[in-house]
Structure 1
Amino acid sequence: MTSDSAAVPRPTSSAERIDAIDVLRGIALFGVMAINLVMEFRVSIFDQFLGPRLLASPIDRAIEAILAQAVELKAFALFSLLFGAGLAIQFDRLANSGRRAALLVRRLAVLLVFGVIHLCLIWNGDILTEYALAGFIVLPFLFGPRWLLTLAALVSLALYLAMQAFPPAGLFPSRAAIWQDVMDANRIYATGGFVDVLAFRLREIPLIASLHAFVFLRTIGLFLVGALAWRSGIVQNTSGLFAIALPAIGLGAGLLYRGIEPLGTILLALGYGAAILGIAHFERGKKLLGWAAPLGRMAFTNYVAQSIIFGWIFYGYGLGLFGRLGITPALAIGLIVYAAQVRFSTWWLHHYRYGPLEWLWRSLMYGERQPMVVAEAAVG
């Protein structure tokens, strides 16, 4: 019998990581950044609900159309799939530890604390809080068989689709509340100091929560699909990935064209993920997409860093560019930040085992300081 001392739980080592998953996470982070930047940092997140915007630049109109059709919500869905797969990987690799359940609960609890801090003090577009809460719901299902994961995923996604078709009355804020919030955001985010922005950010949280409520069941369902993809072995099955990718992308695009957006978004995200994972498993694919792996390994740090950087660029306590930039220049700023993060992540992981926030998260999860320096990790 294996004792706890004989199987001391440790974080996944660099050699044990699946590079293709890190590649996919790094690429998905670009999509998340682009949507957050164009639709949430540049203008109020609720501006899109007040009707079509008049964009002076044809380039802006083209970029907005591409982001809306090919990226918006799909990148977030991809992140949900990846988080679910990551949770299942952690669960399975802790199989020989009697502390498995306690460690994973602590992992999610620490993420929840990080999420609340990010939500309140840095940016209220935070996704970490929702992921932690959804993770607590999904975790018990990982103790069950694959058929239970499948059933739970189908039920969650079916309920999500039903909610989109028949929205519960009173869940979404009124148009008057949205209009008032956008007017206040245009004034406070653009010109307010840090305390002003902080107070307004906290005041917006109930409105933001209504948006999360509309996608929470989808998040749970995609977590379960991601876990199922890992458990079934499809993540490392190149031929199986391509068999999923092409039909999912084709059907998803067709549904979006017909205006069936919720289901089309899910299928497109599945197709994107399967295609990128499949390509990244080939040697040529690794050379083509390998630049994204370090970014993906440090996705937590890079995600929060983007919030800090873009907050300073767009809010009044920094450069105050909120509401003053078109889509094209805003996205150009994002590309510069993203490229810098690619370079920084590559440099950082040459010297250190984890990103700063990844290291803190793991140390708090396991209850002991994890080796950080690469040489230190090799000795440990």
Structure 2
Amino acid sequence: MKITAEEFRIKQSGTLAEVVQMNMRSGLVDTCIFQVISGRLFITLGLFLMGLWAGRKRLFVDTPDHRQFFRQLLMWSGALAAISTGVFWWLTGGDIFAQLEGWTGVVSNTAFDVHQATLSAFYVAGITLLFWQTRAVLLHALVSVGRMGLTTYLTDTLFGVLVFLGYGMGQLGHLGMAASVGLGLVFFALQIPFSNGWLARYQYGPVEWLWRSLTYLKPQPWRKSRTDAVALNPQPLPPKARADA
């Protein structure tokens, strides 16, 4: 408890040096241990491999076959998510920290894992089909934010650090829940036009470009040519093909 109180004090009113020392002393170590014992490290690797496979298969390009695939995924993942969620709640009452023993614990943990995987698949399938079916303006606007995911994540982090931590505005523990969520939504809303404006001129977000350049050990082309714009924004299916789908 003393450690928790001290860490909260450092975050709320500590200097940048104190926060860095705290993160290096406990935060980084605890995070690495948690990544291993929780399986997150292996889950993250698996998700990277799934993304690589989906990209090479061009799974998110609108075609009749891909629509059928996502319809099936939506149906089966939704059914499994409902069943696994029901089993988990029945055994634990919805307490994700419940420590059950024996086969009851095995079943509840398995149900929770299936719930997470299938519900995620349900969301992916549903949003993909909605995007293809309606061509919603809001969903289109979010495409660029997703393509700049690392830049968006780090920018959000920087914004939160400057607002809440002690060497910024020090609002941790002072700003209420509703105000914090509202402030986060406003900042994210501002990132939408920024991301769209950036990717109208460049192929990658700034951090994505740096990461890609470090991966290939040489600077990558950054400015977007007309050919790049067409390749990165494939045209929707013609009306007849969309009707057949």
User: Could you list the runs of 5+ residues in structure 2 that have no partner in the other structure?
Assistant: 61-65, 93-107, 230-245
Where do residues 26-41 of structure 1 align in structure 2 (5 Å cutoff)? none
Question: Does 1:238 pair with 2:70?
Answer: yes
Cα deviation per residue 1:234-284 (whole Å; 9 max; x = unaligned)?
774222221333113312432442333664254234323334334424533
Matching residue of 1:321: 171
Query: 1:226 Cα shift?
Result: 6.8
Paired residue type of 1:277: A
Residues 1:187 and 1:222: Cα distance change in structure 2 (over 3 Å): closer
Quick check: 1:241–1:275 contact (8 Å CA) kept in 2? no
Question: Does 1:299 pair with 2:121?
Answer: no
Query: 1:290 Cα shift?
Result: 2.3
Quick check: 1:352–1:373 contact (8 Å CA) kept in 2? yes
> 3-state SS of the aligned residue for 1:351?
coil
Question: Does 1:185 pair with 2:7?
Answer: yes
Cα deviation per residue 1:199-234 (whole Å; 9 max; x = unaligned)?
22222232333332332x244146436746847977
> What TM-score does the superposition give when structure 2 sets the normalisation length?
0.69
Residues 1:225 and 1:240: Cα distance change in structure 2 (over 3 Å): farther
Quick check: 1:255–1:263 contact (8 Å CA) kept in 2? yes
Quick check: 1:371–1:377 contact (8 Å CA) kept in 2? no
Cα deviation per residue 1:94-139 (whole Å; 9 max; x = unaligned)?
xxxxxxxxxxxxxxxxxxxxxxxxxxxxxxxxxxxxxxxxxxxxxx
Q: Distance in 2 between matches of 1:218 and 1:291?
A: 30
> 3-state SS of the aligned residue for 2:174?
coil
> 3-state SS of the aligned residue for 2:193?
helix
> What TM-score does the superposition give when structure 1 sets the normalisation length?
0.46
Match of 1:250 among 61, 82, 103: 82
Quick check: 2:163–2:170 contact (8 Å CA) kept in 1? yes
Where do residues 4-153 of structure 1 align in structure 2 (5 Å cutoff)? none
Matching residue of 1:372: 222
Question: Does 1:284 pair with 2:133?
Answer: yes
Where do residues 206-245 of structure 1 align in structure 2 (5 Å cutoff)? 206-215=29-38, 217-221=39-43, 223-224=45-46, 227=49, 230=53, 236=66, 237-245=69-77
Root mean square deviation of aligned Cα? 3.0
Residues 1:313 and 1:261: Cα distance change in structure 2 (over 3 Å): farther
> 3-state SS of the aligned residue for 1:291?
helix
Indicate the larger mover: 310-319 or 268-277: 268-277
Matching residue of 2:120: 272
Q: Distance in 1 between matches of 2:134 and 2:117?
A: 19
Paired residue type of 1:272: S
Q: Distance in 2 between matches of 1:277 and 1:286?
A: 15
Q: Distance in 2 between matches of 1:222 and 1:194?
A: 30
> 3-state SS of the aligned residue for 1:323?
coil
Residues 1:273 and 1:289: Cα distance change in structure 2 (over 3 Å): farther
> 3-state SS of the aligned residue for 2:169?
coil
Larger Rg: 2
Where do residues 309-348 of structure 1 align in structure 2 (5 Å cutoff)? 309-348=159-198
Paired residue type of 1:209: C
Residues 1:244 and 1:192: Cα distance change in structure 2 (over 3 Å): same
Residues 1:227 and 1:369: Cα distance change in structure 2 (over 3 Å): closer
Paired residue type of 1:344: F
Q: Distance in 2 between matches of 1:377 and 1:184?
A: 55
Q: Distance in 1 between matches of 2:223 and 2:148?
A: 15
Match of 1:359 among 197, 200, 209: 209
User: Comparing both chains, which one has the higher relative contact order based on Cα–Cα distances under 8 Å and sequence gaps of 6 or more?
Assistant: 1
Say how many residue pairs are matched: 200
Paired residue type of 2:86: G
